[in-house]
């Protein structure tokens, strides 16, 4: 397995990480036993980075990971855990909590659910606008000193927040959306990460399935599927976005690979500070995603890909308006 360092202070991880969210939540019905088998297949293939959040399925995703990790050497996995998003019993999103006492409380429950003594990378899923980032990160730093956490991470934070956090404790990686459809980080966030030595775990590399080559506009989404409300999947935008995918399909075919493999390989080739997280929920999808590691893109390949899908080509924002407003990374100051 190809590996990459997560920033200058973070752990060495597999060049592709497995994002486990869709095994519990947000992407329609999922098969739990197939989710567990997918995590185990990833570990067997040499994937070390496993990403979850305590709010993915309100604890379900962490318990699924615990089951998948049973009998495995704990040190072979790098567990990246997000906290801070609040939900009610129906799964509705009710707020963000980055207060220090809450951080310690969330972590205690996470350790129990995961059945582990430490989390490798612990991060607020969203920056809490009511709590200075120094306080949230300060609480994680305390948990590092106490031995319960190894590294600090952030998620969807902008450059200024990243600098403030990094001044309190080195940040191993920023988790943020990045793909041929979402290149917003390139202007200020990526340069700040490079300057500070912060790695990037890129999610949405397949634009939540839209950019995978497997999406169809006929697909009917259940009410709790994130994509039902995501602008890029709306009736007004999906056709244009799928037309872009078709241009990529031609390039992928000329390289003997699939669209998903091309899209993942493009992120890998873009900067060696990027570690794509793929949201495979089945062993079949995982095998396809890991196939991207075999693909070497030349400068000419990358130019063809970027000409087919130039920055800003995707129709629609990456989140619905009210969710965009919760992203520190999108804050215009
Ligand atoms: N920090 C944050 O704010 C944040 C936000 C979202 C996600 N994440 C993390 O990122 C992880 C990945 O999620 P994502 O939204 O970024 O996923 P993604 O990889 O962009 O999309 C995943 C979806 O693509 C479809 N797909 C088709 N072919 C695939 C293939 N070969 N490999 C993988 N998926 C394929 C899958 O749908 P089918 O299963 O239906 O085929 C899956 O539901 C999550 O699990 C989570 O850990 C973080």
For residue 138, how far is its CA from the centre of ligand 1 (angstroms)? 30
Whole-number Å distance, alpha carbon 132 to ligand 1 midpoint, is 30
Q: What is the DSSP letter of 202?
A: E
pLDDT at 16 over 70: yes
Whether the CB of 232 sits within 6 Å of ligand 1: no
289 touches ligand 1 (CB under 6 Å): yes
Q: Of all residues in the chain, what percent carry a pLDDT higher than 90?
A: 97
Cα dihedral 296→299→300→306 (10° resolution): 100
Probe target for ligand 1 pocket from 206, 232, 328, with the most ligand atoms within 8 Å of CB: 206
Q: 84 in ligand 1 pocket by Cβ < 6 Å?
A: no
Residues 97, 101, 106, 110: is their CA dihedral positive or negative? Answer: positive
Distance CA 333, CA 328 (A): 10
Residues in CB range of 303: below 8 A, 6 or more apart: none
The arithmetic mean of pLDDT across residues 199-218, rounded, is: 96
Residues annotated as catalytic are 56
* Alpha-carbon span 68 to 287, nearest angstrom: 18
Distance CA 281, CA 11 (A): 25
Q: What is the pLDDT of residues 116-159, one digit of tens each?
A: 999 999 999 999 999 999 999 999 999 999 999 999 999 999 99
C-alpha of residue 210 to centroid of ligand 1, in Å: 10
| Atom number of ligand 1 nearest to Cα 226 | 15
Q: What is the pLDDT of residues 103-123, one digit of tens each?
A: 999 999 999 999 999 999 999
How confident is the model over 30-34, as a mean pLDDT?
A: 96
- Three-state SS for 232-294 is HHCHHHHHHHHHHHHHHHHHHHHHCCCHHHHHHHHHHHHCCCEEEEECCCCHHHHHHHHHHHH
pLDDT of 301 above 70: yes
**Run of H or E including 112:** helix 100-114
Average pLDDT, rounded, for the chain: 97
What residues pair up with 14 in beta bridges, in sequence order?
A: 3
Give residue for tokens 């969807």: 156
Q: Is 180 in the pocket of ligand 1 (CB under 6 A)?
A: no
Per-residue tokens: 184: 């917003």
- pTM for the full predicted model: 0.97
Ligand 1 atom showing the smallest separation from residue 30 Cα: 39
Residue of minimum CA distance from atom 48 in ligand 1: 203
SS3 content of the chain, % helix, strand, coil (to 5): 45, 20, 40
CA of 295 to the centre of ligand 1 (A): 20
Nearest to 171 by CA among 134, 218, 129, 221: 134
- Confidence label for 332 from pLDDT (cuts 50, 70 and 90): confident
Segment 216-244, tens digit of pLDDT = 999 999 988 999 999 999 999 999 999 99
pLDDT in tens, 34-72: 999 999 999 999 999 999 999 999 999 999 999 999 999
For the beta carbon of residue 243, count every other beta carbon within 10 angstroms: 11
Ligand 1 centroid vs 147 CA: distance in angstroms? 31
Distance in Å from the first CA to the final CA of the chain: 41
CA 232 to chain CA mean position, Å: 18
Task: Tell me how far the alpha carbon of residue 118 lies from the centroid of ligand 1, in angstroms.
Answer: 25
pLDDT of amino acid 319: 96
Q: Would the CB of 121 count as within 6 Å of ligand 1?
A: no
Q: Is 231 in the pocket of ligand 1 (CB under 6 A)?
A: no
Q: Which of 205, 279, 289 to mutate to test the pocket of ligand 1 (most atoms within 8 A of CB)?
A: 279
Is pLDDT larger for residue 28 or for residue 251? 251
128 near 84, Cβ under 8 Å? yes
Q: 173 CB under 6 A from ligand 1?
A: no
Is the pLDDT at 333 greater than 70? The verdict is: no
Specify the pLDDT at position 1.
94
Verify whether ligand 1 is closer than 6 Å to residue 209 (CB atom).
Answer: yes
């Amino acid at each position: 397995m190809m590996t990459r360092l997560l920033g200058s202070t973070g752990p060495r991880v597999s060049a592709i990480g497995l994002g486990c969210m869709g095994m519990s939540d947000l992407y329609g019905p999922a098969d739990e036993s197939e989710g567990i088998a997918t995590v185990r297949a990833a570990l067997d293939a040499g994937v070390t980075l496993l990403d979850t959040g305590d709010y993915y399925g309100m604890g379900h995703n962490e318990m699924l990971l615990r089951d998948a990790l049973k009998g495995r050497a704990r040190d072979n996995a790098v567990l990246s855990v997000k906290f801070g998003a609040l939900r009610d019993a129906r799964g509705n999103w009710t707020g963000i909590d980055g207060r220090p006492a809450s951080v310690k409380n969330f972590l205690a429950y996470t350790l129990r659910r995961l059945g582990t003594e430490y989390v490798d990378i612990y991060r607020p899923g969203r920056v809490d606008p009511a709590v200075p980032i120094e306080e949230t990160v300060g609480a994680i730093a305390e948990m590092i000193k106490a031995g319960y956490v190894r590294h600090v991470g952030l998620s969807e934070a902008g450059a200024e927040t990243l600098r403030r956090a990094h001044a309190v404790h080195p940040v191993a990686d920023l988790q943020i959306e990045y793909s041929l459809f979402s290149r917003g980080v390139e202007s200020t966030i990526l340069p700040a990460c490079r300057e500070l030595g912060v790695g990037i775990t890129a999610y949405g590399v397949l634009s939540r399935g839209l950019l995978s080559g497997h999406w169809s506009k006929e697909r009917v989404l259940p009410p709790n599927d994130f994509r039902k409300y995501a602008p890029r999947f709306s009736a007004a935008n999906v056709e244009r976005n799928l037309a872009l995918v078709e241009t990529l399909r031609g390039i992928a075919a000329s390289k003997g690979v699939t669209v998903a493999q091309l899209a993942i390989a493009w992120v890998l080739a873009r900067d060696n500070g990027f570690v794509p997280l793929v949201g495979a929920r089945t062993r079949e999808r995982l095998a396809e995603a890991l196939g991207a590691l075999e693909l070497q893109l030349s400068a000419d390949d990358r130019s063809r890909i970027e000409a087919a899908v130039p920055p800003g080509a995707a129709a629609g924002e990456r989140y619905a308006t009210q969710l965009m407003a919760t992203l520190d990374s999108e804050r215009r100051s």
